[in-house]
Structure formats: structure tokens, C-alpha cells
Amino acid sequence: MSEKQVMDADYRPFHPNPTRPTFVPPIGAVDAHNHVFGPSEKFPYAQGRKYTPCDASKEKLFALRNFLGFERNVIVQASCHGRNNDALVDALHTAGDLARGVAVVSPDVTDQELAVMDAAGVRAVRFNFVKRLVDATPKDVFMGIAQRVAKLGWHIVVYFEAPDLEELVPFLQSLPTIVVVDHMGRPDVGKPIEHEDFQRFIRLLDDNDNIWTKVSCPERLTIDGPPYDDVIAFSRTLVERFPDRVLWGTDWPHPNMKSHMPDDGMLVDVIPRIATTEALQQALLVDNPMRLYWSENDEKGAKS
């Protein structure tokens, strides 16, 4: 264990033995938010990171994918690996067509580096506005990156917390691509759905049909803990109002969790409570992520 890990008193490893979910995902289901970490000897964590995760290998991720009944992953670069996407790209090479990636890049990334990531399966960049995770990046720097990756057909994934949304709205509305908001914009589930904070988020999606969201992370948002009853109404509201602009993911291996380490099988069993019909489940787990991350497969199919 590294010196940094010893210092992290609240460091938790992922659940060693998740239960098999009762809910069976539809054929071709995509877990659209998860991570690979390390192994740190091969892919060291970033200097200046705000936390040190447990190593979470691509092999473990793909085994969990199969165990939970999913076919594909979207692997998201997290802050602890900074702007070095080597572990992500390595996992994408192993997964082949069964995974896509969301990278974090610096403004001086070269076209050649972007092309290498594109070939590996990266289809988006992530802009992180969560102050406890990253030092702030000026919005004009993010906009420059957005304009470059838009040319590759990539989209933008954004991570922020509800109190920061009001200030971010003009920037989010000015982005030139599809924009995916992580974890429902992190509402405070102690406030009612009718509260202005969540209503502002709903209005953002109402007013901008290029803005999507992940109805993920009940384990981060909950106050009451498993089985996450206090988060269900928030996710379900979004699934029913924006059925063709929602994604779902486990967030395995749940980096930087302070309260508890979730059982991934229990997280899968949340799905039928937030997407209550087969049609909603098919959109959430298959049609939406396939359209966003694997659209070239359709184009190939159409040409053949």
C-alpha cells in the first residue's frame, strides 16, 4: 500500500462479493459509468490527486460486467488518474468493441493523441467541476477542448454538484456537442423534488435537448443508505420525463466513497424501481447508450 493510501483513513475497497441481482438486464445492456484504477505499479495515480482509490483492474471490471448481466461498459477517467488516460486506453484495447471510454485531456493534447484515443474507443471528454476533486479549469479552456473534440464526433460529460448548477447553466448551454451530466447533477435528496435546485436541473434538460443525464449513484446521493429509497423518486422522475436521454451505470469501484461500500447487485436491483417498464429499461440500458457510444456500428450495419 502506498504512503498516500495509509494516510487516507476513509479509504474503502470495493465490495468483494456482490450479490447476484434479481433484475435481469435486457440483452445488450450497457453499464455506462465505471472506472479502472491502476494497477498502480503499471499505471501510477496522479500527483496532486485528492484521493487514492483501491486498484481496480480491467479484468475485475469485465468479470463484474458479466456477473451482473451486462454486455458492455463505458469506462470513465476519474480524477485520481489526472489527465493520463493510459489505464483507460489499455482497458479499451482489451475490451475491443465491448467498451467505450470517456477521457480527461489537457488543452495541449495533440491531434495525434486524440486520434489514438479515438481509435481505442474514446468517445467523450469529461469536464469536472467538483471542487473537492479537482482544481478549477477556466471555462474558456474547457470550451477550446470542446470545440476540438466536437470535430471528432465526441461529446462532453460534465460532473458538478447541485449548488453550482445556476452559475454553470450559460456555459453548459453553449457547449457544441451532446452533454451528459453525471449522477443527476448531484441533487440534495434531503430536499423535495419540488425544490428549486432539482427543478432547475429539470428545466436545463427541458430547455436543451442535447443535454442528457446519468441516473446513477444512489449510493453517493442517499442519506438513508441502502436500499436507497430516498433517491428513487429523483431518478424515476428523470427516466420518465427524458426516456431517450438517460444512461445508467454502477460507478464501480465506487472511488472516494465515505459512507459505505455498495453491493453492486443491489445497485442493479434499483433499476426496475426507477425504470418501471420494459420499454423504459430498454431505452435506459441499451438503446440510449448504444446510440451515444456505438453509433458507428449502425453506420457500418447500414453500409453492409
Would you name the residues annotated as active-site residues? Answer: 251
Quick check: 251 binds ligand 0GY (CB under 6 A)?
Answer: yes
Contact letters (x/-) for ligand 0GY, 202-241, by CB under 6 A? ------------------x---------------------
Q: Which cell is 53 given?
A: 482509490
Residue 80 CB, nearest distance to ligand 0GY (Å)?
Answer: 6
Quick check: 133 binds ligand 0GY (CB under 6 A)?
Answer: yes
The residues, any chain, with a CB within 8 Å of residue 34's CB and separated by 6 or more, are 61, 73, 74, 75, 76, 249, 250, 251, 252, 253
Residue 300 CB, nearest distance to ligand 0GY (Å)?
Answer: 31
The CB-based long-range contact list for 38-47 (8 Å cut-off, 24+ gap) reads: 38/87, 40/2, 42/87, 43/81, 43/84, 43/86, 43/87, 43/90, 45/2, 45/4, 45/80, 45/81, 45/82, 46/79, 46/80, 46/81, 46/82, 46/83, 46/84, 47/82
Residue 281 CB, nearest distance to ligand 0GY (Å)?
Answer: 22
Is there a contact between 250 and 68 (Cβ–Cβ < 8 Å)? yes
Residues 173-202 that bind ligand 0GY (CB under 6 A): 182
Residue 263 CB, nearest distance to ligand 0GY (Å)?
Answer: 17
Quick check: 78 binds ligand 0GY (CB under 6 A)?
Answer: yes
The residues, any chain, with a CB within 8 Å of residue 40's CB and separated by 6 or more, are 2, 55
Residue 208 CB, nearest distance to ligand 0GY (Å)?
Answer: 22
How many residues touch ligand 0GY under the rule CB under 6 A: the total is: 11
**Closer residue to ligand 0GY in complex, CB, 156/280:** 156
Q: Which of 36, 56, 80, 156: binder of ligand 0GY (CB under 6 A)?
A: 80
Cα 71 to the chain's mean position, in Å? Answer: 16
Residues 18-37 that bind ligand 0GY (CB under 6 A): none
The residues, any chain, with a CB within 8 Å of residue 94's CB and separated by 6 or more, are 58, 62
Q: Which of 85, 256, 282, 288: binder of ligand 0GY (CB under 6 A)?
A: 256
Q: Which cell is 202 given?
A: 429539470
**Closer residue to ligand 0GY in complex, CB, 31/182:** 182
What is the rounded distance in angstroms from the CA atom of residue 169 to the CA atom of residue 140? Answer: 15
**Closer residue to ligand 0GY in complex, CB, 54/133:** 133
Nearest C-alpha neighbor of 245 from the set 215, 201, 270: 215
Q: Which of 18, 121, 218, 255: binder of ligand 0GY (CB under 6 A)?
A: 255
Residue 126 CB, nearest distance to ligand 0GY (Å)?
Answer: 7
Q: Which residues are at the interface with ligand 0GY (CB under 6 A)? A: 78-80, 128, 133, 159, 182, 220, 251, 255-256
